[in-house]
Amino acid sequence: MNPSPPPPPPRDPDLLEEALGLGRGGSPPWRLAFVEDCVETSGAFVLHHFLKRALSTEGDGTVVFLGLAQPFSHYDRVLRKMGCNLSVQRNKNKLHFIDLLNLEFLGEQKLSNEKGENDREIGFMDLYNRILRSIEAIRSKDNNGGWTTIIIDDLSHLEIAAHGSVKHVLDFLQYCRSLTSEMDCFLVILNHEDIHSSDEALQMLSHLDYISDILIKAETLSTGIAADVHGQMTVVIKDAPGGLIKKLHSFQFKVKENGVEFFYPGSRF
């Protein structure tokens, strides 16, 4: 007589999903999430997580992805290991990948004069229109009831493309933010905290901190690097943009090829 197979171990609750207040496959209860990482710990896996979640079969989400940091092939391979085929999703019109790897708004010669400024503005306006068109293209098809997430990976590249003009990038972000209410979208932005932060970088970060509903911070372990823990994560949920901190979650993570493991400090050996 064969003993009945042991029941599968209960699936660990996904601490990140919990912290972000996400149900299974549903749309998030917030509008703008800001992911901040540092040199030692990349926060790109959070974007992968959002991407997979939005495109999963359970949810009816769609994604507009601004790929500035990596080519499509990179995301395709990473997400494939996580069980999500981006090429198929793209063909299904659920994912619009805007390849901005070579984004540069103007020639260097025009940097100083008036025209240079205009070129930058035109460049950002074009980009905004591309996002708008992508959202409309997604909405026009069968995905009417779905929710759309705009993911920007990552913001510092936009700053470079604008030749360091923080002003223009912030303007652009305001436009993107307006999309969240106008077009009913969700915005996820990745940016880096620099170890040698200058005042200008801080200005950008503090502004983003202010306008975001949720702040996700990936850092190295405060106690050091360990082989089985890759870093720690802090999720700050705010009352309203610029409001008080409503909730604060803190946990550790280990990045794997097929996903990320989240756990509370000291709960893994």
Partner 1 sequence: MATAADGRLLGARSANTSSFSRARSSPSAVLPSPPNPGVKVGPNGATFVSSGIPDLDRILGGGFLLGSLVMVMEDADAPHHLLLLRNFMSQGVVHRQPVLFASPLKDPRAFLGTLPSPVSLSKEHRQRDTLVDHNQQDQEKGLRIAWQYKKYFGDQQSSQIHNRDVKQEFSNDFDLRKALERQHVQYIESMSIQDIPRLTILRDRCSNFLSGLPRSDGGNLSAGRIAIQSLCAPQCGYAEMVCIIVYTEPKDSISGLGLGCLYQVSEINYSLFKCGCCGNVSHFISFACISEEMAAPGRYIVVYEDKDMAKLLTGYQDMLGLLHVHKVAHNNSQVPTVLEASTFSLKLQKRRSLSQLQNMMDDGFPGLFKHTTNSQLTHLQSPKLLVSQECFFMGCNHSMRAMELGTKILRLLFIVSLSTSAA
Counting Cβ atoms within 10 Å, is residue 45 exposed (0-12), middle (13-18) or buried (19+)? buried
Name which position in 62, 134, 149, 165 contacts partner 1 (CB under 8 A): 165
Note whether 142 binds partner 1 by CB under 8 A.
no
Note whether 198 binds partner 1 by CB under 8 A.
yes
C-alpha dihedral over 163, 42, 147, 99, to 10 degrees? 40
Name which position in 20, 68, 150, 235 contacts partner 1 (CB under 8 A): 68
Note whether 167 binds partner 1 by CB under 8 A.
no
Name which position in 35, 64, 69, 236 contacts partner 1 (CB under 8 A): 69
3-class DSSP assignment, residue 115: helix
Sequence letter at residue 72: F
C-alpha dihedral over 173, 39, 264, 13, to 10 degrees? 50
Note whether 223 binds partner 1 by CB under 8 A.
yes
Note whether 159 binds partner 1 by CB under 8 A.
yes
Cα gap 148→187, rounded to integer Å: 9
Quick note: the x/- pattern for partner 1 over 13-42, rule CB under 8 A, is --------------------------xxxx
DSSP structure string for 21-66: T--SSPPPS-SEEEEEEESSS--HHHHHHHHHHHHSSSS--EEEEE
Name which position in 29, 164, 243, 265 contacts partner 1 (CB under 8 A): 164
Note whether 112 binds partner 1 by CB under 8 A.
no
Residue (37 or 213) nearer to partner 1, CB? 37
Name which position in 9, 10, 227, 244 contacts partner 1 (CB under 8 A): 227
Nearest of 152, 242, 137 to residue 183 by alpha carbon: 137
Note whether 95 binds partner 1 by CB under 8 A.
no
- DSSP type of residue 164: T
Name which position in 22, 31, 32, 45 contacts partner 1 (CB under 8 A): 45
Note whether 256 binds partner 1 by CB under 8 A.
yes
Name which position in 196, 228, 244, 266 contacts partner 1 (CB under 8 A): 196
We find the least distance from the C-beta atom of residue 246 to partner 1, in angstroms, to be: 29
Cα gap 155→169, rounded to integer Å: 8
Residue (101 or 125) nearer to partner 1, CB? 101
Residue (67 or 135) nearer to partner 1, CB? 67
Nearest of 231, 228, 219 to residue 268 by alpha carbon: 228
Q: Which two tokens stand for residue 117?
A: 């400024």
Count how many Cα atoms sit within 13 Å of the Cα of residue 129 in the half-sphere of its side chain.
Answer: 6
Binding site for partner 1 (CB under 8 A): 39-42, 44-45, 48, 68-71, 73-74, 77-78, 80-81, 85, 87-88, 91, 101-102, 104, 108, 154, 156-157, 159-161, 163-165, 192, 194-198, 200-201, 220-227, 230, 255-257
